[in-house]
Structure 1
Amino acid sequence: MIITDTHTHLYSNEFDEDRNEMIQRAIDAGVSRFFIPAIDSAYTHSMYDLEKAYPNTIFLMMGLHPTHVKDNYLEELQHVETELSKRKFYAIGEIGIDLYWDKTHLPEQQDSFRKQIQLAKQYKLPIVIHCREAFDEIFEILEEEKSPDLFGIFHCFTGNYEQALQAISYNMKLGIGGVVTFKNGKIDQFLNQIDLKHIVLETDSPYLAPIPLRGKRNESSYILNVVDKLSEIYNLSNEEIASITTENSKVVFGI
């Protein structure tokens, strides 16, 4: 059984004490593909070190996370462009808009999101979208930028059924992780109406650990709890869930 974690922050400081052991636990659990989103330039070297240590299992994205869009965001976007020109990445991400913590940089977040979508088109790469309390703002920009060469993943999807359909209409897969196991997560109530071909698995570790581990540090091996929940929702075996979602990830990332 090959499981793909399409979104995991393996370079996080929360893994400094046991990173290799944590990755090995995930590999032992069947997770053999890890896609690593960028946050900002401060994490780039850590990402490269991870890739060097696990060259056949770890695949990198490049991008500027919306919560790290500050007054110097144009410098950070220049870093993104420079790295993209030097080597291969598998997505532009994670990018988007986050209005949960701070609304003061909304114009900069919007500009950063647009510019990075355009970079994705230039490099023929998928985008991986971070959206928190910003569905309307995200959809507005996706509507402006929609085209056959715009595609990717709506990471950590937490919207309703109508928003799910709208995301899919922009050639986005839905990234499903620990939230699907939460009693108040709500996405489990309509997910069986969404064809599994639109779903990819993720953990967002070290964040959003699934039930029964909610509140603890998340790690990629816990994706098995997400597989269990989707198996229940879709009435398919764990192997079928793993196989279909891994194939979906290959459609997005090209590997």
Structure 2
Amino acid sequence: MKTKTILTDTHTHLYSEEFDQDRNEMIQRAIDAGVSRFFIPAIDSTCTESMYDLEKKHPENVFLMMGLHPNYVKDNYEEELEHVANELAKRKFYAVGEIGIDLYWDKTHLPQQQIAFRQQIQLAKQYKLPIVIHCREAFDEIFEILEEEKSEDLFGIFHCFSGTYEQALQAISYNMKLGIGGVVTFKNGKIDQFLNQIDLKHIVLETDSPYLAPIPFRGKRNESSYLINVAAKLAQIYNLSEEEIASITTENSKVIFGI
């Protein structure tokens, strides 16, 4: 990035233990690359304190979400949902996330995942916050709940979008932006084949670091500075400059998060 363009990483797990050895340097690398806004999703109650520490250290750059990730919906999920509700009542967050349904690893907790997803959507509406959706092998199940919950105050981001063109349009119809990350750079990622048919106003950028590193880092630890590789790929797809991609997608993130 030649100019002082601001890139926004709408989804990064900066508190991940994978960054324990070099977290400050990794964040600085991202800021030096123009990535200066980091939106941090919650997983469960065990990451809350680390998230608050990050915010304290980087108050200008770090913005927190609160939520229970579907993979962490276990037998104690009611306790975890209570934690989410209590934290949301206490202080300002920028989204309820990441929430949703994941049937990739384990289908046994599907009913509990559905309850948790629905309850957290309702909390988001109560606080007039966006939701950030995690979906893995569960488009139908997610869309079913979004259809029932759809309203003007339901909006947010379909994180790590990797569906079809039709599923993209359906997600957008529920006031969702599409979170685009490293998958767009993969040869078998497929979303690059139709993304240029989706208006850029529906797109935000993310890394999901430390996961899903873009080409040429695929298979390695992802970090927020690699967002420039995602922006470069979108610049090709949309036939725009990287600066324009950065500017438009950051504006879109402001529309969602209000900051």
The normalised TM-score by structure 1 is 1.00
1:199-218 to structure 2, matched below 5 A, reads 199-218=203-222
Q: Deviation string for 1:99-157 (max 9, x for gaps)?
A: 00000000000000000000000000000000000000000000000000000000000
Is the counterpart of residue 220 in structure 1 residue 220 in structure 2? Answer: no
Residue 109, structure 1, aligned to residue 113, structure 2: yes
Secondary structure of the structure 2 residue equivalent to 1:24: helix
* CA apart distance, 1:163: 0.1
Residue 247 (structure 1) aligns with: 251
Does 2:179 align with 1:175? yes
Q: Distance in 2 between matches of 1:9 and 1:247?
A: 22
Amino acid paired to 1:218? N
Q: What SS is found at the alignment partner of 1:211?
A: coil
Q: How far is the alpha carbon of 1:56 from its aligned partner? A: 0.7
Q: Pick from 136, 145, 151 the counterpart of residue 132 of structure 1.
A: 136
In structure 2, the gaps of 5 or more residues are none
Aligned partner of residue 32 in structure 1, secondary structure: strand
Structure 2 counterpart of 1:250, one-letter code: K
| RMSD after superposition | 0.2
Instruction: After the TM superposition, list the runs of 4 or more consecutive aligned residues in structure 1 that deviate by more than 4 angstroms.
Output: none
The letter for the 1-side match of 2:103 is: L
Q: How many aligned residue pairs are there?
A: 255
- What SS is found at the alignment partner of 1:153? strand
Partner in structure 1 of residue 188 of structure 2 = 184
Q: How does 1:37-76 map to 2 (within 5 A)?
A: 37-76=41-80
Report the Cα distance in structure 1 between the residues aligned to 2:117 and 2:86, rounded to whole angstroms.
Answer: 17
Rounded to whole Å, the distance in 1 between the matches of 2:60 and 2:26 is 17
TM-score under structure 2 normalisation? 0.98
Pair 1:30 & 2:34 matched? yes
- Rounded to whole Å, the distance in 2 between the matches of 1:214 and 1:31 is 19
From 231, 235, 243, the equivalent of 2:235 is 231
SS in 2 for 1:51: helix
Secondary structure of the corresponding residue to residue 75 of structure 1: helix
Quote the sequence identity (%): 86
| Whole-angstrom CA distance in 2 between matches of 1:123 and 1:32 | 26
2:90 matched to 1:82? no
**1-side partners of 2:219 and 2:181: how far apart?**
14
Give distance in 2, aligned partners of 1:55 and 1:213.
Answer: 29
**1:96 equivalent in alignment to 2:86:** no
Q: Which amino acid aligns with 2:185?
A: T
Give the letter for the 1:25 counterpart: R
Matched, 1:6 2:10: yes
SS across alignment from 2:101: strand
Q: Show the counterpart of 1:165.
A: 169
**CA distance in 2: counterparts of 1:148 and 1:40, whole angstroms:** 28
Give how far 1:58 is off: 0.2
Q: CA deviation at 1:249?
A: 0.1
Give the superposition deviation at 1:32.
0.9
Is it true that 1:120 corresponds to 2:128 in the alignment? no
Instruction: Give the partner amino acid of 1:68.
Output: Y
Q: How far does residue 68 in structure 1 lie from its aligned partner after superposition? A: 0.1
